[in-house]
Amino acid sequence: MIRVRGMRKSYRTGKLVNEVLRGVDFEVDHGELVSIVGPSGSGKSTLLHAVGGLDRDYEGSIEVDGRDLRSLSDDALSDYRNRSVGFVFQSFYLLPHLTVLENVALPAVFTRGTQRLGDAAATARAREVLEQVELGARTDSTPTMLSGGQRQRVAIARALFNRPTLMLCDEPTGNLDSKMGAQILALFHALNRDAHITVMIVTHDSRISAATPRTLRVEDGALHDERRELGPPVPSAAVVPAAEAP
């Protein structure tokens, strides 16, 4: 469970201080699919980064499964990101000099302790998640050889590699056409529905927010919580095996 209390965040540009979040409070339960919307610069991504432990420079508190993220050391926060969070960004951020397989297995390089996978196990796991996103045949390709939608699916596979409980997506369809965007959205729905992964999606796209049962609207530093009843589930192009379920 994610619990955010009194979160404030401001950016300073020279002498100008822009307070983007002014004491927001919200909670997200396990297995929820939540979209975060709002105008540019309203603090959507800031909120997402803070929940994902990428940013500790804020006021207030963020608890994830009872852990106050600000109280964690930098190394502990890295481990939290490595084991519990999967990030998907608008620009994919794949490493261009690594193959698809190496990109997907990259989190294994930074995993410590007993959860660390050996080379063979990491490769097997990377192949497994690539199959899930229907890119099992492109393991040896480099990112430059893929389309935008394929790259985003590689990024999703990388996010899934360590079996995260929380998936944070920052404008994941921003660089994709509408058809490809719909496929990616369907993939998130499937992951949320079948693997019970909590998914938070920052988006400008009203079609995406309309397709999520809950939307957090960030406006003028405040947060408005909107819930809606959805129709039948969005069809998924991907198959998420039952084994993925926690």
Partner 1 sequence: MSGLRRVIAADLQRSRSHFLLASIGIVVGIATFTFFIALSQGVRAVVLGRIFPLDQLEVVPKSLDIAIGPLAIGTSTLGGDVIDDARVRQINALPGVETVYPKMRLTVPAIALGGESLLGADLRSEIVADGIEPALVAADVGAGFEFRDFDAEPGTPKACTTDDECGERRYCGAPAGTRLERKSRNDDTGRVPEGTATVCRDYVPVLASEHVVELYNGALRRAHGFPKLVPDSVLGFTFELVIGSSMVGASNKGHLVRERAMLVGFSRKAIALGLTIPLGYVRRLNVDFGQPEDAQRYHSVVVMVPNKNDVAAVAKGVSDLNLVVADTGAEQAALLIAIFTLIFALVSAVIVGIAAVNIMHVFFMLVYERQHEIGIMRAIGARRGDITRIIMGEAASLGFVSGLAGVALAFGASFGFDWISQTYVPDFPYKPETYFEFPWWLLLAALAFAVSFCILGAFLPARRAARMEPAAVLSGH
Residues found near partner 1 in the complex (CB under 8 A): 11, 45-46, 49-50, 52, 54-55, 57, 74-75, 78-79, 81-83, 87, 89, 91, 93, 95-98, 102, 105-111, 119, 122, 158-159, 162, 170
How near is the Cβ of 87 to partner 1 at its closest, in Å? 5
Q: Long-range contacts made by residues 224-232, C-beta under 8 angstroms, separation at least 24? A: 225/26
| Residue placing its CB nearer to partner 1 in the complex, 211 or 218 | 218
| Residue placing its CB nearer to partner 1 in the complex, 27 or 110 | 110
How near is the Cβ of 148 to partner 1 at its closest, in Å? 16
Residue 35's φ and ψ, nearest 5 degrees, are -105, 150
| Residue placing its CB nearer to partner 1 in the complex, 119 or 229 | 119
How near is the Cβ of 224 to partner 1 at its closest, in Å? 22
How near is the Cβ of 229 to partner 1 at its closest, in Å? 33
| Residue placing its CB nearer to partner 1 in the complex, 32 or 79 | 79
How near is the Cβ of 227 to partner 1 at its closest, in Å? 27
| Residue placing its CB nearer to partner 1 in the complex, 89 or 188 | 89
> What is the rounded CA–CA span in Å between residue 45 and residue 49?
6
